[in-house]
Structure 1
Amino acid sequence: MEKPMPAKGDADMTDSFQPARVTPLEQPTNLLKTGMLMRENPLSILPALLFEKTILTGPYLGRSVHHVSGPAEMKSVLQDNFEDWCKSPLIQRMLRPVLGDAILTAHGENWRRQRMTLQPAFLKRRLDPFAPIMAEAALMAVERLKHPQTPEIMSVMSDATFAVIERVLFSDVEGFDRGEVRRAIEVLLEEIGQMRLSDLAPVPEWMPRMMTRRAVQARKVFRKAVEGQIARRRAAADPGSDLLGLLLTVRDEETGEGLSDTDIRDSVMTFVAAGHETTGIALTWALYLLANQPQAQARLREEAKAVLGDGPATAEHVSQLYFTRQVLEEAMRLYPPAPMVARRAVRATEICGRPVRKGDVALLAFYCLHRHTTLWDNPDSFDPDRWLRDRRPTDRYQFLAFGGGPRACIGMGFAMMEATIMLATLVRELAFSPPADARPVELAMQVTLRPAGGLHLIVKPA
């Protein structure tokens, strides 16, 4: 199928609509104010200059914080010198009580072992059989969105992507209550996403973060359910062809070693947390942008009908949905699911020649990178055609929606297939528009970047 040409009038696509954005911090502020801003919304501490410069350095509790927003600087931290950096103690303390020592939180040899062992499970040929599950979840979301006419979009997208990850992980369920486990996961995701003032205190890294009693109980429910499934599958002659079955059978190509039961349990929680949450939010932002840009929405619908016809989306269709992918990439440029991450130097190193001391922190501001005034034309505008082959960035580190370097998101292929199938299906079937009395959308960061208070859109049959 030939690549569709831009529709007439698309050059004016961004004239009337300016997507929601964060108001940057014009002037540096004191430590207490920074802590309060971090708790309310970590994005609010980003300085305005970071959208023009590529690195800014300032003091923090006797160390230096290097605010990074340039591709070369990102590559220096994430790729060239990645062994000199570890994830920040703050994010580790927030994630580890829930995710354990899985691939997202592990370091060193433990991380390498898990990464090498898990990699085969995310090859395209292993993922393609999951496409029907994604298409079915998309059609279920369509039915749900038909009533009422102004549903809250983010919750529907979250439920749809959760249904996918649940069925991909557990094609059959015995011995636990799906509803109870789902509620436990929601509590655990809330625990991860809520930053407390105590999280910002300079406590020893070995000191665990205190979980709420509710979260401790939820973790117990979740772990018991997953451990029961692992034991049942290990005892069976066939571990199954879903993701849990793959996790039970994959081996490190160098050592032949498989994953332990604890590795698998924590990996399942990581895939649920990182997989369904981020994809659901990416779809929410894409629908927000399309609802406010009717020409782009009509163009995507035309493509979806031409490629999918009246049937369900398949894995083979994904590579033909060019414009759908462009919209998703542009949505993740404007609203990267993880808008910033932090790394701590474990030894003296450098960022593009700038000296870094052991203990210094690099704050990698993907949000600023994606809207940098020296890297993008009209960086705050919604322009899916910036992802056409002759316009898209040539520097791999200019777009980091899935991170970069050896620790880039292992599930990127899964997420893009799922999001493409779902977005094409949703827009083929439904028309989205903003309510007449819609309030301005505000951005909130709770590990992931989301519309504060959710997103309401008018939804009608297409």
Structure 2
Amino acid sequence: MSAPTAAPIPTPTAPGRLPLIGHGLRLVRDPLPFIASLREHGSVVRIRIGPTPAYVVTDPALARRVLVTDAAHFPKGGKYYDALRVFLGDGVATVADGDTHLRNRRLMQPMFSKAHIAERGNAMIEQVRTMVSGWPAHEPRDMFAGMNEITLATFLVAVFGADLPAHLEGEFTALMPEIMRGTIRQVILPPWISRLPLPANRAHTDRVARLRALIDQAIDHHTAPRGSAWADGTSGPASEDGATGTEACPHTSEARRQQGGLFKTLIGVEDQLGRRQLQDEAITLLAGAIETTGTTLAWALYEIARNPAIERRLREELASVCEDRPLRYHDLDQLPYGRRVLQEAIRKYGVSWMVTRTTARDIVLGGHLIPEGADVVWSPYLHQHDPAYYPDPDTFDPDRWETDRAAATRGSFLAFGDGRRKCIGENFAWVELQIILATILQLWPRFEMTSRPPRAQAVITVKPDALTMEFHSDSVG
């Protein structure tokens, strides 16, 4: 980029800064109102996270420069990614820009092709139907926890196959919410606090270590041949004469291959990645596939429950495509309104509310000079509530995603990022979201909220603080 011809514009500092902790208290107590308020101060606004300055980009057009046009000058980094790297390691979402990132992304890309995902589509639908049909009627369910549970199980079937030991799924479910809370704590508090031997810091370290051990078990189980000792201490199935593995049945290896999931693509290149990198990629996929997808589904169900007209249109669309039969994978492309409902849930609730980059050199952005090495913050939640792009942004309006209207929002919908670091699992996320929402609507003719309206709570994602629902097998209350 050429040097600016005009003097840089002074960068405004957000009000409310406190000694030592800067704007940390606002980021802890009311992060979403605080981040949304920054738009009124300018297109780039300085805040302090502890003693460290960070530059928040409030204009979606400038955020697109950071992510796409001038991405080489804004590599991934900053406090957000430093904290994520503690448990994600150097997965494709957190590894520094450069040859390693490009190589790993190319190795992972095939597992997220539409063809590969389609291979697992019906297994995902079967898993979701089994879980959703087993919900007891007329009993309040915690929808945030429930959606995370179902997205985790669906993810594991898709990625690791259908035969993963049950105890792994249970521990993943218990660990992930706590790790997410510990991570955002490290993002918004001064670094010296995270380094102290406090109980919360030690617990976070222990949980991350346990997660890595579980991922190693999942990989070992996925790669072990039938008849060998698996990570859960069991062996492959035996025939009547006691033979195991391929000795018991010549078709075992083929059946095992069919049971395998998307991760088999990476298993085949473990020699290029190494075991540690394989762990990092598996943890990255796990974190990205569960919390964000589960959060979106919880918010979507909340909005559907309080908008009867939206629910009626969803059910009519589903009935016109599937009639009386169960959902099939090839039906998903024929459910455009369902996808618009999900996209509007993603738009209204984030899903991420604070993401960082760093500056590779002194650079002028929107007329403001940002020094080399500074944290640059962009916020999908902030950009997707910009009234210049989304009139009446607090209104849930799936029809804003109709083709003619959606054109006006191009470049401001940043839930999956953009540019060369755009989320590699976006295709998978859409498939999982559509399968789960359609299956719930098919199996339960009626559901209703049993809690007060939830408040948005910013952790890593923007989650509902409390949301319970009852499901009913009859369509009339």
Choose which of 121, 127, 130 in structure 1 pairs with 2:120: 130
Amino acid at match of 1:248: I
RMSD between aligned alpha carbons?
Answer: 3.2
Q: 1:458 aligns to what?
A: 470
Provide the secondary structure at the position in 2 that maps to 1:377. coil
Alignment of 1:159-308 (within 5 A): 159-173=149-163, 177-180=165-168, 182-184=170-172, 186-194=174-182, 195-196=184-185, 200-202=189-191, 210-212=201-203, 214-215=206-207, 218-219=210-211, 221-229=213-221, 231-232=223-224, 240=257, 241-249=260-268, 258-308=272-322
My pick for the range that moved more, 371-380 or 26-35, is 26-35
Choose which of 27, 39, 44 in structure 1 pairs with 2:28: 39
Task: Supply the distance in 2 between the matched residues of 1:353 and 1:285 (Cα, whole angstroms).
Answer: 37
Shift of 1:182: 3.1
Task: Supply the distance in 2 between the matched residues of 1:379 and 1:147 (Cα, whole angstroms).
Answer: 35
My pick for the range that moved more, 93-102 or 443-452, is 93-102
Shift of 1:146: 4.0
Alignment coverage as a number of residue pairs: 428
Q: 1:254 aligns to what?
A: none
Amino acid at match of 1:399: F
Provide the secondary structure at the position in 2 that maps to 1:391. helix
Task: Supply the distance in 2 between the matched residues of 1:185 and 1:158 (Cα, whole angstroms).
Answer: 8
**1:211–1:120: structure 2 CA closer, same or farther, 3 Å change rule?**
farther
Provide the secondary structure at the position in 2 that maps to 1:191. helix
Provide the secondary structure at the position in 1 that maps to 2:468. coil
Amino acid at match of 1:30: L
Q: 1:418 aligns to what?
A: 432
Q: Does 1:150 align with 2:165?
A: no
Choose which of 372, 375, 382 in structure 2 pairs with 1:361: 375
Structure whose alpha-carbon radius of gyration is higher: 2
Task: Supply the distance in 2 between the matched residues of 1:455 and 1:321 (Cα, whole angstroms).
Answer: 26
Conserved 8 A contact 2:389-2:408 = no
Conserved 8 A contact 1:153-1:455 = yes
**1:441–1:124: structure 2 CA closer, same or farther, 3 Å change rule?**
same
Task: Supply the distance in 1 between the matched residues of 2:396 and 2:415 (Cα, whole angstroms).
Answer: 16
Amino acid at match of 1:242: G
**1:45–1:328: structure 2 CA closer, same or farther, 3 Å change rule?**
same
Q: Does 1:72 align with 2:61?
A: yes
Task: Supply the distance in 1 between the matched residues of 2:125 and 2:219 (Cα, whole angstroms).
Answer: 29
Q: 2:6 aligns to what?
A: none
Q: Does 1:447 align with 2:460?
A: yes
Q: 2:16 aligns to what?
A: 28
Q: 2:358 aligns to what?
A: 344
User: Could you report, residue by residue, the CA deviation over 1:109-163 in whole angstroms, capped at 9, with x for unpaired residues?
Assistant: 2211111211121110111122112322332343244434321111221111111
Provide the secondary structure at the position in 1 that maps to 2:351. coil
Percentage identity across aligned positions?
Answer: 26
Shift of 1:400: 1.1
Shift of 1:230: 5.7
Alignment of 1:304-315 (within 5 A): 304-315=318-329
Q: 1:329 aligns to what?
A: 343
Task: Supply the distance in 2 between the matched residues of 1:54 and 1:134 (Cα, whole angstroms).
Answer: 43
**1:352–1:282: structure 2 CA closer, same or farther, 3 Å change rule?**
same
Q: 1:114 aligns to what?
A: 104
Q: Does 1:432 align with 2:420?
A: no
Q: TM-score when scaled to structure 1?
A: 0.83
Conserved 8 A contact 2:137-2:472 = no
Amino acid at match of 2:470: I
Conserved 8 A contact 2:160-2:262 = yes
Task: Supply the distance in 1 between the matched residues of 2:374 and 2:363 (Cα, whole angstroms).
Answer: 10
My pick for the range that moved more, 147-156 or 329-338, is 147-156
- Structure 1: any 5+ residue segments left out of the alignment? 1-25, 252-256
Conserved 8 A contact 2:194-2:201 = no
- Structure 2: any 5+ residue segments left out of the alignment? 1-13, 229-245, 247-252
Conserved 8 A contact 1:348-1:358 = yes
Provide the secondary structure at the position in 1 that maps to 2:277. helix
Amino acid at match of 1:330: E
Q: 1:86 aligns to what?
A: 75
Provide the secondary structure at the position in 1 that maps to 2:414. coil
User: Could you report, residue by residue, the CA deviation over 1:184-216 in whole angstroms, capped at 9, with x for unpaired residues?
Assistant: 553244123223379622459999995426415
Task: Supply the distance in 2 between the matched residues of 1:223 and 1:142 (Cα, whole angstroms).
Answer: 26
